[in-house]
């Protein structure tokens, strides 16, 4: 009866000692206490006295740089010809990448944000992202988007 009554406090004491040992106890000398809510009290590697304001770009604000002079980038993208189609609008349920060529390995040329509409002017056979679907749309700005990632806007 006495051992059962002492086992709970002894177990609690053992757990407290284990917790204290796990949390430290190795005193390497005085430490400077920083307040995490005040970044000025914590040493940083910021090379400027005040951090600059962030610049937030709109989707599609950057224009990809072409290689120019007819150079190919090794993937044969320069001589890619899309089949012209009657222009139609597409949209996406979620943010979708636009590509410089009909492949997920090509560079990202921008994004379509959820609900944004773009105009399709051509289609081309490219990488089959999903089995049985290798159709990519070419947009009026020359970028490509995988047909399975977007839907046609109903008129």
Q: What is the pLDDT of residue 11?
A: 82
Q: Between these two residues, 113 and 42, which has the higher pLDDT value? A: 113
C-alpha distance from residue 68 to each of 60, 72, 108, 142 (Å): 21, 9, 18, 15
Going from N- to C-terminal start, the domains of the chain cover 83-152
SS3 percent helix, strand, coil of the chain, rounded to 5, is 15, 30, 55
Length of the chain: 155
CATH architecture of 83-152: Roll (2.30)
CB 100 within 8 A of CB 117: no
pTM confidence score: 0.50
In this structure, what is the dihedral angle of CA atoms 37, 43, 45, 48, given to the nearest 10 degrees? 70
Q: What is the pLDDT of residue 44?
A: 60
């Amino acid at each position: 009866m006495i051992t059962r009554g002492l086992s709970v406090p002894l177990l609690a004491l053992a757990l407290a000692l284990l917790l204290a040992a796990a949390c430290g106890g190795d005193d390497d000398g005085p430490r400077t206490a920083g307040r995490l809510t005040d970044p000025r009290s914590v040493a940083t590697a910021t090379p400027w006295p005040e951090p600059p304001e962030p610049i937030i770009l709109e989707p599609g604000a950057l224009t990809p740089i072409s290689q120019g002079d007819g150079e190919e980038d090794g993937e044969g993208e320069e001589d890619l010809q899309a089949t012209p189609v009657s222009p139609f609008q597409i949209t996406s349920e979620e943010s979708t990448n636009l590509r410089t060529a009909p492949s997920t390995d090509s560079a990202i040329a921008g994004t379509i944000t959820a609900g944004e509409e773009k105009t399709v002017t051509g289609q081309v056979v490219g990488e089959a992202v999903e089995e049985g679907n290798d159709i990519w749309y070419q947009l009026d700005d020359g970028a490509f988007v995988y047909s399975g990632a977007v839907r046609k806007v109903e008129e």
